[in-house]
Chains A and B, each alone.
Chain A
């Protein structure tokens, strides 16, 4: 079985008595170590697909398994635990906690693992050094540039050593130079650390960095 296996997935939303089909029987396999870019116009369902793989949304029908676990059948609490072990999430708007320092933000996911404070700090520091922010540990998000904020977010996604990294428009809110740095970082995580990465993007330039391009249109793959 593939590392990420999406099989016959349907996803419908109910909006004011009208059912909207976002994904319509979509199937997709992603192998371990792949770097996949999901592209498609607005409303094509690419973010929904990412959310389904990340276990923060569940399909109306169909199966999704990630690293051998079928997540379509997990309960809310099981999903939460599964996410903390399996998924690293990178958002377009970084979503850092404004009241926490860079280090504290990165430590956050480690609170869900049995680990003492010193160990947590060591790992978080390592992750921040990896993204090139070893000298910004005590800074608050508002003291960082957008690109730096996104790199802190990447460190946070990395720190619990997830099996899959999911990135939703990671460069969407960044200038070209910062975006380039983020993409280089993702590339390096893929090649050097063998991380499986699924990235939603609008930007063809960003998509070029991936090994494989998947186009979505109206809830199905469009080759």
Chain B
């Protein structure tokens, strides 16, 4: 029976190929749009629920005094605080999809489970590294203008360890030279992506802030993560009456805040995805109707031979489902393997979850069922006598 379905598929190979092709591109598109949403979501989820992020209550573009760090540290239950300042420098004259952060030394022990140094320079002079730091950071710590670069950036720019790179400041004036003293990778399940340049906060403070340190965001690590809500309230209460009130939320919520800046974009992508699927549904249903109509008499013969209405129905649905499933699997996998890790517009590296791939394939199967339904129903309802009526 399956053989019969397959033979029918090859009856008009061009038409089958066109249908398969349109389902393929549709599901490729659907998966790509899903990938954009996945990537946004991955950004939002990259932060930990267990850490806190403290920023200025008014907006991220307002800075907090650096000495808030010690005051936050004084709160019982706070284990570690680090700062992170968005630098926004230009590389090669234009803004790239490479984010740069100035981070203080506490950044590294806080993210040991997230980032791993895989390439490093040896220090010129023997250096003692703080006990909770990765010993591979010795050369970085020894040099004020050192930086640590993500493997993604290294690949993209073709940089080498030990190379000095030049950044043009935007928010902070002047040209900034930094030497690559380490390369990191993202550990599975960790925060961040591999498209960052991380450098010393001291360098930024000295050259860019006139020696007066301030910061965009404090990341706060807790001894007991279950206390996070209470401690977040405590931090904000501490600064409520100061010149710079704070807003503290989980690192994850902080990341999700960036997604919300996209406004209706995710919604628009979903609508477009559905429009595409619907379009292809109409097109493939039309194809199936035509495919069945032209073999009306053959279906009548099958019924004369004793094939039941149900069997005929099943055969037509199967034919449609094979076409769309094939196209769907191909399209979704093409998106998965073609786009995974690639940069697209504002997204440094696309993430496509298997859930998205699976959804696309399920949609494709559904597409086949629905588009096969009408012609299958027509075929199963076909009266033999009408279909075989002879001119006689």
Q: A residues near B, CB below 8 A?
A: 42, 47, 51, 54, 56-57, 76-77, 80-85, 87, 89, 91-93, 95, 97-100, 104, 108-109, 111-112, 156, 168-169
Whether a CB of chain A sits under 8 angstroms from the CB of B4 is yes
Q: Ordered nearest first, which 7 A-B pairs have the shortest CB separation?
A: A84-B306, A83-B306, A80-B308, A56-B384, A95-B301, A109-B305, A57-B385
- The closest CB in chain B to the CB of A112 belongs to B306
Contacts of B8 in A (CB 8 A): 99
Given contacts A57-B385, A111-B1, contact A77 B309 (CB under 8 A): yes
Least CB distance, B1 to chain A, in whole angstroms: 6
Q: Which residues of B contact A (CB under 8 A)?
A: 1, 4, 7-8, 10-11, 297-298, 301-311, 384-385, 388, 390, 392
| Alpha-carbon gap, A95 to B390, bound state (A) | 12
CB distance from B29 to the nearest CB of A (A): 33
**Could you say which of A76, A84, A112, A156 contacts B309, with CB atoms under 8 Å apart?**
A76
> Do A95 and B385 touch (CB < 8 A)?
no
CB of B9, distance to nearest CB on chain A (Å): 10
Q: State in angstroms the CA–CA spacing of A180 and B106 once bound together.
A: 100
- B1, B10, B384: residue with the most chain A Cβ atoms closer than 10 Å: B384
Known contacts A57-B384, A99-B8; is-contact A47 B392 (Cβ 8 Å):
yes
Residue among A42, A47, A169 with max Cβ neighbours from chain B (10 Å)? A47
Bound Cα distance A142, B25 (Å): 36
If A56-B384, A95-B298 touch, whether A77 touches B310 (CB-CB below 8 Å) is: yes
Q: Is the CB of B385 within 8 A of A51?
A: yes
Q: 5 A–B contact pairs at CB < 8 A?
A: A56-B385, A80-B308, A108-B305, A111-B4, A112-B306
Chain B residues with CB under 8 A of A112:
305-307
Q: Would A108 and B302 count as touching, CB distance under 8 A? A: yes
The listed residue with most A CB atoms (<10 A of its CB), out of B297, B309, B310, B388, is B388
Q: Is there an interface contact between B4 and A83, defined as CB atoms closer than 8 Å?
A: no
Q: How far is the CA of A198 from the CA of B297 in the complex (A)?
A: 22
B306:A85 contact, CB within 8 angstroms: yes
| CB–CB A83/B7 < 8 A | no
Contacts of A76 in B (CB 8 A): 308-309
Nearest neighbor of A166 in chain B, beta-carbon distance: B304
Q: Which among A47, A85, A98, A99 has the greatest number of chain B C-beta atoms within 10 A?
A: A99
Q: Is there contact, CB below 8 Å, between B305 and A83?
A: yes
CB distance from B132 to the nearest CB of A (A): 69
Q: Which of A98, A104, A111 has the most CB of B within 10 A?
A: A111
**Complex CA distance for A104 and B297, rounded to whole angstroms:** 18
Chain B contact residues: helix, strand, loop or mixed: helix
Residues in A neighbouring B302, C-beta threshold 8 A: 108
By the criterion CB–CB under 8 Å, are B309 and A80 in contact?
A: yes
Residues of A within 8 A of B390 (CB): 47, 92-93, 168-169
How long is the Cα–Cα vector from A98 to B385 in the complex, in angstroms? Answer: 21
Give Cα A104 to B302, complex, Å. Answer: 13
Taking a contact as CB atoms under 8 Å apart, the answer to whether B298 and A97 are in contact is yes
The answer on a CB contact under 8 Å between A91 and B301 is: yes
* Contact across chains for B303 and A56 when beta carbons are under 8 A apart: yes
Taking CB atoms, residues of chain A closer than 8 Å to B310 are 77
Are B392 and A80 interface neighbours, CB within 8 A? Answer: no
Q: State whether A42 and B298 are in contact (beta carbons under 8 Å apart), knowing that A80-B309, A83-B306 are contacts in the complex.
A: no
On chain A, the residues within 8 Å of B10 by CB distance are: 99
How distant is A59 from chain B, measured CB to nearest CB, in Å? Answer: 12
Most buried by A among B7, B306, B307: B306
Give A60 Cβ to nearest chain B Cβ, in Å: 13
Q: Which residues of B contact A100 (CB under 8 A)?
A: 4, 7
Q: For residue A80, which residues in chain B have a CB less than 8 angstroms away from its CB?
A: 303, 306-309, 311
List the A residue with the shortest CB-CB distance to B298. Answer: A97
Q: What are the residues of chain B within 8 A of A77 when measuring CB–CB?
A: 308-310
**Smallest Cβ distance from B193 to chain A, in angstroms?**
52
Instruction: Tell me the bound Cα distance from A91 to B390 in angstroms.
Output: 10
A87 to B305, CA, bound (A): 8
The residue of chain A having its C-beta at the shortest distance from the C-beta of B390 within the complex is A92
Measured CA separation A57–B303 after assembly (Å): 12
| A95 in contact with B7 (CB, 8 Å) | no
- Which residues of chain B have C-beta atoms less than 8 A from A56's C-beta? 303-304, 384-385
Instruction: Provide the residues of chain A in CB contact with B307, threshold 8 Å.
Output: 80, 84, 112
Are A84 and B392 within 8 A (Cβ)?
A: no
B15 to chain A, nearest CB (A): 13
Q: Are the CB atoms of B7 and A99 closer together than 8 Å?
A: yes
Q: CA–CA, A109 to B305, complex, Å?
A: 6
